[in-house]
Structure 1
Amino acid sequence: MKKIFKFMIVFVGSIVKEKNGKVWENEGKWRKKKGNGEKRGEIKKIKKMNNKNKKEMEKNIKKKMTMRKKNKKKEQKEQK
């Protein structure tokens, strides 16, 4: 019974995936962050946390991203 149920989920999921053109529309914004250099796993952890911890984690990630941008700018200036 479980095998049949799993098969149904996979099958229906694939149809939904094709219809939307992207995988699970509500997860789109989370997946975009991966392109900014963050690991997808780190973002998935945030989704499971409660709101207070979630906000703190998001702040930490934003700090990391700004630090990376600043470091890149410094490197570019040094190269010039």
Structure 2
Amino acid sequence: MKFGYRKPSLKKRISARTSPKRFISHNLGFKAPKGYGWITNPKKYAYNKVYNKTSRGCLLYFTPILFLFTLLIILFF
């Protein structure tokens, strides 16, 4: 398991949104209610629970700095 920053991947983002498995579960009504991941796939649920608590997004610290920078530009110009 990876610890630290996540690397955004456009390829993975597109493939996740256009997968046949997602199409079947969303369009044919085989989707479990939100929060029921521990029933549908317990191994994936446990992995994601640990992963989301031990890693952070790469833009987490960049966004507040960018916000302050734009705020300073607006105030002084």
What is the TM-score normalised by the length of structure 1? Answer: 0.29
- Structure with a larger share of its residues in strand: 2
- Structure with a larger share of its residues in helix: 1
The answer to which structure, 1 or 2, has the higher relative contact order (CA under 8 A, 6+ apart) is 2
